Amino acid sequence: MPFNFHRLRIPDVVLIEARSFGDERGLFRETWKASEFAAAGFDLQFVQDNHSRSVRNVLRGLHFQRPPHAQGKLVFTLSGEIFDVAVDIRTNSPTFGQWVGETLSGDNGRALWVPPGFAHGFVVRSELAHVLYKVTDEYAASCDAGILWNDPALNIDWGVDAPLLSPKDVVQPLLKNIDTGFVY
């Protein structure tokens, strides 16, 4: 099996390790295979791929889409390294407001499954990173939402004190001040 699936401390978020085949020419890696994911209990249909290219210390997030256009995301890094974070924003969830984070890189072949009901963000740890994520619903501006990256209630250790942020991410609300639209 070319993939290993590891449920994290918040079990709905899954770390996926892909097997790589390398030689002096480089490497080959499968990043998604519907039959393998279905065999592991993930019957997913992706409708859009997103690619971001970011420099060191760029922090993108914490983002999510509210229902009815909630997105599940399969995130992996083509090159470079990121610290990828998922925050449970499902009201009444036993892990509401908790987060998990993993290092994803072009070298380690890891991906993170971030299901609907979670906010997502990442910070770039390398000089440059190319991140690709497959999503289960198309982008809908009317459902676009986010949480402040340094919300003190979340206490996420991003490993960077002064990240490079978009104007939108500078003014996101605290989790306690929004209705995410998700219920556990």
Active site residue 63: yes
Contacts of residue 113, defined as CB under 8 A and 6 or more positions apart, other chains included, come to: 13, 14, 15, 16, 42, 72, 73, 74
Write out the chain in H/E/C secondary structure: CCEEEEECCCCCCEEEEECEEEECCEEEECCCCHHHHHHCCCCCCCCEEEEEEEECCEEEEEEEECCCCCCCEEEEEEECEEEEEEEECCECCCCCCCEEEEEEECCCCEEEEECCCEEEEEEECCCEEEEEEEECCCCCHHHEEECCCCCCCCCCCCCCCCCECCHHHHCCCCHHHCCCCCEC
Q: Which of 69, 120, 130, 133 is catalytic?
A: 133
Active site residue 184: no
Q: Which of 6, 51, 63, 130 is catalytic?
A: 63
Residues belonging to the active site = 63, 133
